[in-house]
Structure 1
Amino acid sequence: MTSHITPVILSGGSGTRLWPMSRAAKPKQLLALTSTDSMLQLTARRSSDDTRFDRPLVVGNARHAEMIEEQLEAISLPAASLVLEPAGRNTAPAIALAALLTRPDAILLVMPSDHVINDVSAFRAAIETAVPLVEDGWLVTFGIAPTAPDTGYGYIRRGETLAPGIERVEKFVEKPDRATAEAYLAEGCYSWNGGIFLFRADAYLVELGRHAPEMLAAVRESLDKGVRQGQRVYPEEAAFKAAPSDSIDYAVMEKADRVAVVPVDMGWSDVGSWDALHEIAPRDEAGNAEHGEIVSIDTSNCLLRTDGPLVAAIGVKDLIVIATGDAVLIMPRGSSQDVKRAIEKLKASGHVTLDRSSL
């Protein structure tokens, strides 16, 4: 019998790199940035085949509960459980919540809620490649085919072939400098670390208990003391906050022995910046990606986006212009990682623009 897979969608991020549209009140994953669907809805649709996938389990921020439920119900894919974190503790505790709420032998497909995958068939084929090893207790990650020597991603060095299309992870590598990234691409045995995983719930919990026992104990206690209201699960706050904040990569994947990677070219992007959105967005003959009420004259290679006032761009090039009802961001293309400098200044001044919805 074919094993069903439980999608685990991680929706706790704040997405501040896409300010001013992404805010604490309505972060990136709840916005429609690349289609008429939100990023969360697109993620849920990737695992919507009920012959292979169960209903998703979503781990999110308690303040977004209603928006998450509304968006999933709008596409007829309501969550089997919506686990509402009382505080952000990074991905390892979030995944532990999901693993403890499912059957021990459940296969979990862990996906961030805010990534783009254009070739869903390639993604699903990669999942099928991984399933036999997962059923045997391996932890599997998906290695993204690198398209450039990008310094913004972690890398995975692939080792011996374990089965057709799947290799042992030799090591995880931190974000490299440019020269190192170029060397990785030239070597040909490195993939980007896209943060998507497939494993049995019990296999993950065994490794978490081995390498981060205090984290597992805190998460377990938070559920034991927590509350369930319909499909919503509320872990107890004090116990959950006692869990160390750590990513699955550091807490488990870099330390476990049986870790494999499926290299896959699936049109992936983490849409981690406005430059990344410009790169994947449809562009006109002048290289402009436009959304909303825009007038552009003698303008080229710009990202122009508004959900508020009309934006007129005349005689400019290589700019990012983002306008909402209460904020405007303007900067050169190639500088979008510097949005964090604006965020830091706004935080220092206690500016409310960071926290409220812009829509």
Structure 2
Amino acid sequence: MNSTRIVPVILSGGSGTRLWPMSRPETPKQLLALTAEETMLQLTARRTLDEARFDPPIIVANDAHADTVETQLAKVGVVPQALILEPVGRNTAPAIALAAIAADPASPLLVMPSDHVITDHASFRRAIEAALPLAEDGWLVTFGISPDKPETGYGYIETGEALAPGVHRVARFVEKPDRATAEAMLAAGGHAWNGGIFLFRADIFLDALSAHAPAMLASVQAAMRDAERDGGRIHPHAGHFAESPSDSIDYAVMEKAERVAVVPVDMGWSDLGSWDALHALSRCDASDNACDGNAILIDSHNCLVRSDGPRIALVGVDDLIVVASGNDILILPRGRSQDVRKVTDHLKEEQK
């Protein structure tokens, strides 16, 4: 096995809206225990606790979450080599650039969102091993999730020629499709969901930014040059970082670079992007209800019930999502949990 050590880069800057009311800007979903006793951040960090393969991680997080992030990581025995605290969110490309500048230039970086579910760790590790030789050779590698349904909520990657066993050149990135297009891609094969997980050398990513997003690179470099450092915490200069264009890694780099590869992998992945997604991942009772200890369900079916406070009782209802947190209660039909955004948008308007 290749002996190169990989630096995990865990992106934890999300503000938390899709799982409202439990997930909020002050406690976004990566800081919550939703699928296990440990939080999403803790589960993500645990995936790279192999000292033979991985160095301590670089965490990029919201400045407001610094204490919580450090406390949660310490509870699972993770001491990051750097905790980079964004003064403002500027999307994934600038966030990854912060980590790439902090890392050794030749280090392979395994970039992972902090709020995704991966249940098949062995398949994930095999995919990483397959991708590593190409990443060391200067390729930007992404991990494509093997699709099992015509999902319209994800972008897709069309796989091209084989570059190595299990690794293909990216033929093209596809925007989130309509239903008919998603069905056609699933039927045709050779397509994967874009899961937002990457492996590449730090210097190669920064070179790609220099070529395709030079203004972004200049702003992030200035922010790191004038950053304040407090032990393992790094506070990028707020003014410089705010000047960076706000763009995703896909738009800023991956869709424009030449040497981009994909490793299709079936690893029990979910971005946990809705309450419906949590229901699909949860252990359900005989009536297909997923609920915590604060729920009573009588003659009810196919419901999701979560509460961190009051007891919730459902009688004679089907296909509902009911979530209570603090002073807020969410009730909506199963299948419409993406509409939670309408609630959070309404709340933002009220605060103006």
Instruction: Normalising by structure 2, report the TM-score.
Output: 0.99
- Please show how residues 40-119 of structure 1 align to structure 2 within 5 Å: 40-119=41-120
Distance 1:78 1:36 in 2: 20
Percent identical: 61
What residue identity is the alignment partner of 2:173? F
Helix, strand or coil at the partner of 1:277: helix
Distance 1:282 1:59 in 2: 32
Q: Which runs of 4+ in 1 moved over 6 A?
A: none
2:209 aligns with: 208
Are 1:320 and 2:332 matched, yes or no?
Answer: no
Residue by residue, what CA displacement relative to the aligned partner does 1:222-268 show, whole Å, maximum 9, x if unpaired?
01111110000000000000100000000000000000000000000
- Please show how residues 1-359 of structure 1 align to structure 2 within 5 Å: 2-350=3-351
Residue by residue, what CA displacement relative to the aligned partner does 1:39-84 show, whole Å, maximum 9, x if unpaired?
0000001111011000010000000000000000001112110000
Distance 1:344 1:43 in 2: 29
Please report how far the alpha carbon of residue 325 of structure 1 lies from its aligned counterpart in structure 2 after TM superposition. 2.1
Contact between 1:292 and 1:307, CA under 8 Å: does it hold in 2?
no
What residue identity is the alignment partner of 2:170? V
What residue identity is the alignment partner of 1:19? W
Contact between 2:16 and 2:27, CA under 8 Å: does it hold in 1?
no
Helix, strand or coil at the partner of 1:18: coil
Distance 2:21 2:61 in 1: 21
Distance 2:173 2:190 in 1: 12
Residue by residue, what CA displacement relative to the aligned partner does 1:283-337 show, whole Å, maximum 9, x if unpaired?
0110000113111000100001111100000000000000112110000000001
Please report how far the alpha carbon of residue 15 of structure 1 lies from its aligned counterpart in structure 2 after TM superposition. 1.9
Structure 1 unaligned regions, length at least 5: 352-359
Helix, strand or coil at the partner of 1:15: coil
**How big is the alpha-carbon RMSD for the aligned residues of Structure 1 and Structure 2?**
0.8
Helix, strand or coil at the partner of 2:15: coil
Contact between 2:213 and 2:252, CA under 8 Å: does it hold in 1?
yes
Distance 2:263 2:349 in 1: 43
Distance 2:281 2:54 in 1: 28
Contact between 1:211 and 1:255, CA under 8 Å: does it hold in 2?
yes
Instruction: Normalising by structure 1, report the TM-score.
Output: 0.97
What residue identity is the alignment partner of 1:113? S
What residue identity is the alignment partner of 1:131? L
What residue identity is the alignment partner of 1:345? H
Residue by residue, what CA displacement relative to the aligned partner does 1:268-293 show, whole Å, maximum 9, x if unpaired?
00000000000111101100001131
Worse overlay, 342-351 or 223-232: 342-351
Helix, strand or coil at the partner of 1:19: coil
1:357 aligns with: none
